[in-house]
Amino acid sequence: MKILNFIVLFLLLFSTGFVRADELDTKMEKIVQQFNKDTSALSVEIVKASLAVFPFDCDEKLAQKRVNLAVSELLTKHLIQSSDFKLVERTHLDKILKEQELGLTGAIDTPTAAKVGKLIGAKLVALGSISRVGDYYQISSRLVDVESSEIISVSIVEVSVEVFDQKASRYLVKVPEYQTLGIYLAFQLFPASVTELPSRTFFNSLIVTPDNNSVLFEGLGLGLRYWFLRKLMIDIAYFPVTAFVGDDAFSSDSGSSELFAVSGATNLDGSEHKKTLSGSSFKLSLNWYHSISKTFKMYAGIGANICQLNYGSEEEMNTISGTANGQNFMIHMQSLNELSPQVLGFCRLGLEWKLQTRLGWALFMNINTPKKFPCKVTVKKYNSNWMNVISEEEMLVREVIFPLVTLETTISFYF
């Protein structure tokens, strides 16, 4: 008995799903039947006349979603299946609407529709309006005689928004073309070269040799996109950046490196002076986009990148002291407070693939203005009791060059 009850419940739920799915077809068929009934009472010629189905009128929000075009397409489909009307090609109608600067979003009154109908050789035109009332779309349709501009048939139906969106999903744009937000996760990985710096000798004995290893940067960031106008988008992103230095780029301590090596000295204090190389990037760009197809978009833009590159952290030792050729010395490295952010201009090209209506994957190429990030040390000479500084000199020990071209990839969610 329990098994029988389960089967009955399953069949009820299953059949309910089919009934809801067929609701839209039933309502579209009702409109067509009303048209057939009202025209059959007029003449045989009217029943078999040429008919143009216009985009329905609706508010801006529904137009962005293309609900009006979806209704036109569904009505056209049912007219072909269940009537003797000769349907005018959609492409021909769209061309005339464009030439007449009427657009494809509806808002066409009966006299104007009759005028356009004459231009395309139609005897009848079907048009109407759509409005959302609670959880339902109210679809008002009317059939107009082109010659007399007389309304010869009217039909009003209501369809559940949920059912309509499910059944007509192939015609709808669930994410509008503008006034849309997108949140994305981004990843970038790019190499940066360094300036080849020479060694320097101090006090005829102390030799400071810069580390000239190349650097590989990676960043996992978060961004926001806003389409504020049709075809224009603002993109804001923040990337914490980590650096990998030298040949052991992917070792556990690869974010740290010796900024320089010291030789020719004794009594060294702080010789283990590995410095963490890290930073951050804040990007702001204005982008133009073009839809190549339903699933691919192309982007082009310009922007600014505010970069901060840090040599070391607050916890790491910033001085090295010792004796060279009988002279006391101390090497002082730049602190984080002494490093100022750099502003880079860039232009970009990108391609996005819409995996789903609200999900997209993109690849961007940025072409950057050249910029160098220097790190300097100050070599100070002290008297015998370390009380007074006798002299000091600055030395450049690393200079990272931001690459001309960088790549980044993003996964975006739109709403």
Mean pLDDT over residues 259-277, rounded?
Answer: 74
Task: Tell me: do 293 and 408 sit in the same domain.
Answer: yes
What is the band of 314 on the pLDDT scale with cuts at 50, 70, 90?
A: low
Q: How high is the pLDDT of residue 344?
A: 93
* Whether residue 116 sits in one domain with residue 41: yes
Least confident of 31-35, 117-121, 220-224: 117-121
pLDDT at 10 over 60: no
pLDDT at residue 286 greater than cutoff 70: yes
Other residues' Cβ atoms within 10 Å of the Cβ of residue 230: 11
Q: Strand (E) positions, 195-273? A: 200-202, 206-210, 215-229, 232-245, 256-258, 260-263, 266-269
| 12 assigned to some structural domain | no
What pLDDT, on a 0 to 100 scale, did the predictor assign at position 142?
93
Q: Is the pLDDT of residue 17 over 50?
A: no
**Of 27 and 170, which is predicted with more confidence?**
27
Distance, CA of 360 to CA of 281 (rounded, Å): 23
Closest C-alpha among 19, 4, 18, 130 to residue 72: 130
**What is the CATH classification number for the domain harbouring 235?**
2.40.160.20
Q: Are 134 and 250 found together in one domain?
A: no
Do 335 and 196 lie in one domain? The reply is yes
Q: Are residues 142 and 203 in the same domain?
A: no
Pairing of strands 124-133, 50-53: parallel
pLDDT over 90 (residue 334): no
Q: Residue 318's pLDDT is what?
A: 73
Q: For residue 34, what is the domain's CATH number?
A: 3.40.50.10610
Residue with tokens 């509806």: 106
Host H or E run for residue 46: helix 44-47
308 with 202, same domain: the answer is yes
Q: Which domain holds residue 310?
A: 180-414
Residues 6+ apart with CB under 8 A from 297: 289, 290, 291, 351, 352, 354, 360
Are 122 and 159 within one domain? Answer: yes
Say if residue 101 is in the same domain as residue 145: yes
- Kindly state whether residues 88 and 212 are assigned to the same domain: no
Q: What is the pLDDT of residue 165?
A: 85
Q: Cα–Cα distance between 354 and 93 in angstroms, integer?
A: 29
Question: Does some domain include residue 228?
Answer: yes
Last residue of a domain, one of 135, 152, 171: 171
Q: Of 171, 190, 207, which one is at a domain's C-terminal end? A: 171
Tell the residue number behind the tokens 């959880």, with chain if given. Answer: 135
167 and 184 housed in the same domain? no
Domain co-membership, 198 together with 333: yes
List the beta bridge partners of residue 279.
Answer: 241, 309
How many Å apart are CA 321 and CA 386, to the nearest integer? 10
- What is the number of domains present in the chain? 2
For residue 292, being part of any structural domain is answered with yes
Q: How confident is the model at residue 242 (pLDDT cuts 50, 70, 90)?
A: confident
Of 119, 138, 171, which closes a domain? 171
Shared domain check, 331 and 388: yes
